[in-house]
Amino acid sequence: MGCGSCSTTENGVPNGCKSNGNCGSGSCGSGSKLEVFDWLANMTLPSGQDKFDIYEIRFKNGRKHFFRNTEKLTLSLGDVVAVESSPGHDVGAVSLSGELVKVQMKKKKITLDSEEIKKIYRKASQRDIDIWEVARGKELETQRKGREIISRLGLQMKLSDVEYQGDGNKATFYYTADTRVDFRQLIRELAGAFSIRVEMKQVGSRQEAARLGGIGSCGRELCCSTWLTDFRKVSTTAARYQQLSLNPLKLAGQCGKLKCCLNFELDSYLDALNAFPKQEIILKTEKGPAVFVKMDIFKEQIWYTYKEERSKWFKLNLDQVLEIIELNKNNEKSISLEEYESEIEVIPKVDFENVVGQDSLTRFDVPKTSKRRRNNKNKKPSSAASGGQPNQKPNNTKTLAKKQSGRPAQKSNKPNGDRPPQAKRKPSNRRRNDKPNENKPQDK
């Protein structure tokens, strides 16, 4: 038996938790979306009270429904069961049981006698699980061919996911579309191509992102696919209250809508903004009227600039701004913003000492050398300059005379040898290896 939450091998053994088909934690793999922790699991019921007979069953991508245990089966968390569907049966895993199911039903506004609550047939047999796994293996290929059919028919819709029923006789196609789509011809072609019953279900952009999942710009999994169940309306006023730039590329999530996390800290910002004055208020000073530029809410700092000269911004704290507004109410002008800004104490930066003894990150790096020094180091002296010995430095008579006498040697006016100083040497046709014999007199 393979675990419904983990990816399985051919033998049915999970690759992840290695629990041989019975997931004890119920929180592994992609099935951990919107998981509920049963904190009442280890508590016994009062005497004379029966266990709640409605269970929460999880299907693909966090889809959950409630089913009644009419057969009085002994079920535990993670058991794979066959449940009633229309038509046929479906296969899912038990995700929640006991008294917490009542809380979830109340949250989703489902009554105990609702017609949506169907019954559990049995615990899934090995044959049921084999058929279920074969049907799940067809989903990617069905999705690919379905997109080809949609493209050929020219329908303005996006097929995001395909989910097969546990018995393999029905498939649900989830799609998103901006306008109304007539997909009657599409259903006929899908039913003929795959020989199954077809159900089309339209979802919104946020529901599509919740089903597929992903990683957000914060580096964590999407909130809508892990714990967020209700999608509240998000508007740009939430970004304005938090002093965020209205850049749609930064404010939009993977669904293309505004990020749901813009509402998470909105209440804290609204509470902090109660102490701030309105941004439309103009400060009257001796130097002229000043208008609002920006603010730092939690540091209680506000920047103002003169209405006629907006080249410089002046930073004031909240108490100073409230003081100026109080003076303006009494028909008095305050001092200039420069004087208010000079009263703010500048906190010096603290240089922290290396008390832990951490080494530098670049301690193993090779120091860089200039190209000139590297070339001089690799360059070898010629043999002619050293008198035939490449490792011997050439003798410089001027340097030796300077070292012996202790004063710089005087420059000689005599020409070098018998050759006149302005005479040019004639080019020689001899090879470099054919050196003349110094003892043999040369022919004139």
Residues 179, 118 within the same domain = no
Asked if residue 142 belongs to a domain, the reply is: yes
Residue 56 CB neighbours (<10 A): 21
Which amino acid makes up residue 193? A
Taking the C-alpha atoms of residue 224 and residue 33, their distance in angstroms, rounded to an integer, is 9
Which helix H or strand E contains 404, and what residues bound it?
helix 397-405
> In which residue are the tokens 């050439």 written?
394
Which amino acid makes up residue 45? L
CATH code of 185's domain: 3.30.300.20
Which amino acid makes up residue 220? R
Residues 53, 119 within the same domain = yes
Instruction: Write out the residue range of the structural domain in which residue 172 sits.
Output: 134-209
Helix ranges (DSSP H) in 233-276: 236-241, 248-251, 266-272
Rounded to whole angstroms, what are the CA distances from 285 to 73, 273, 280, 322?
80, 24, 16, 13
Domain boundary among 78, 95, 124: 124
Residues 281, 320 within the same domain = yes
Residues 203, 161 within the same domain = yes
Q: Among 57, 53, 130, which Cα is nearest to 92's?
A: 57
Domain boundary among 104, 124, 144: 124
Domain boundary among 315, 343, 371: 343
Taking the C-alpha atoms of residue 144 and residue 6, their distance in angstroms, rounded to an integer, is 24
Residues 119, 179 within the same domain = no
Question: Helix or strand or coil: residue 326?
Answer: helix
Residues 204, 144 within the same domain = yes
Give 10-residue mean pLDDT values along the chain (444 residues): 46 50 43 70 79 91 90 90 91 91 90 91 93 93 94 92 93 92 91 92 90 89 86 90 88 91 92 91 91 91 88 90 92 89 74 67 71 62 48 48 49 50 51 49 48
pTM here?
0.62
Asked if residue 89 belongs to a domain, the reply is: yes
Q: What is the pLDDT of residue 183?
A: 87
Q: Among 163, 162, 168, which Cα is nearest to 130's?
A: 168
At 399, list the tokens.
């340097």
Residues 62, 98 within the same domain = yes
Encode 133-150: b = buried (16+ Cβ within 10 Å), e = exposed: bebbeeeeebbeebeeeb
Phi and psi dihedrals of 313, rounded to 5?
Answer: -105, 145
Asked whether the beta carbons of 98 and 51 are under 8 A apart, the reply is yes
Residues 113, 144 within the same domain = no
Q: What is the pLDDT of residue 375?
A: 66
DSSP assignment, residue 408? P
Residues 283, 327 within the same domain = yes
Which helix H or strand E contains 105, and what residues bound it?
helix 100-107
Residues 267, 282 within the same domain = no
Strand-pairing partners, residue 123, are 81
Please count the residues of the chain: 444
CA 222 vs. chain centroid, Å, equals: 10
Strand-pairing partners, residue 294, are 303
Question: Helix or strand or coil: residue 196?
Answer: coil
104: buried, middle or exposed (CB in 10 Å: 19+, 13-18, 0-12)? Answer: middle
Asked if residue 3 belongs to a domain, the reply is: no
Asked whether the beta carbons of 230 and 107 are under 8 A apart, the reply is no
The count of structural domains within the chain is 4
Which helix H or strand E contains 209, and what residues bound it?
helix 205-212
DSSP letter string over 135-192?
HHHTHHHHHHHHHHHHHHHT-S-EEEEEEE-TTSSEEEEEEE-SS----HHHHHHHHH
At 171, list the tokens.
């498939």
Residues 240, 297 within the same domain = no
Asked if residue 353 belongs to a domain, the reply is: no
Q: What is the pLDDT of residue 369?
A: 67
Q: Label the pairing between strands 283-284 and 197-202.
A: unpaired
At 260, list the tokens.
């749901």
Phi and psi dihedrals of 47, rounded to 5?
Answer: -65, 135
Asked whether the beta carbons of 288 and 268 are under 8 A apart, the reply is no
Taking the C-alpha atoms of residue 110 and residue 252, their distance in angstroms, rounded to an integer, is 33
Encode 233-246: b = buried (16+ Cβ within 10 Å), e = exposed: ebeeebbebeeeee
User: Strands (DSSP E) along 297-391, which ranges?
Assistant: 301-306, 314-317
Q: Label the pairing between strands 170-176 and 283-284.
A: unpaired
Taking the C-alpha atoms of residue 1 and residue 127, their distance in angstroms, rounded to an integer, is 10
Q: What is the pLDDT of residue 3?
A: 47
Asked if residue 197 belongs to a domain, the reply is: yes
Q: What is the pLDDT of residue 421?
A: 52
Asked if residue 161 belongs to a domain, the reply is: yes
Asked if residue 303 belongs to a domain, the reply is: yes
Asked if residue 395 belongs to a domain, the reply is: no
Taking the C-alpha atoms of residue 97 and residue 3, their distance in angstroms, rounded to an integer, is 18
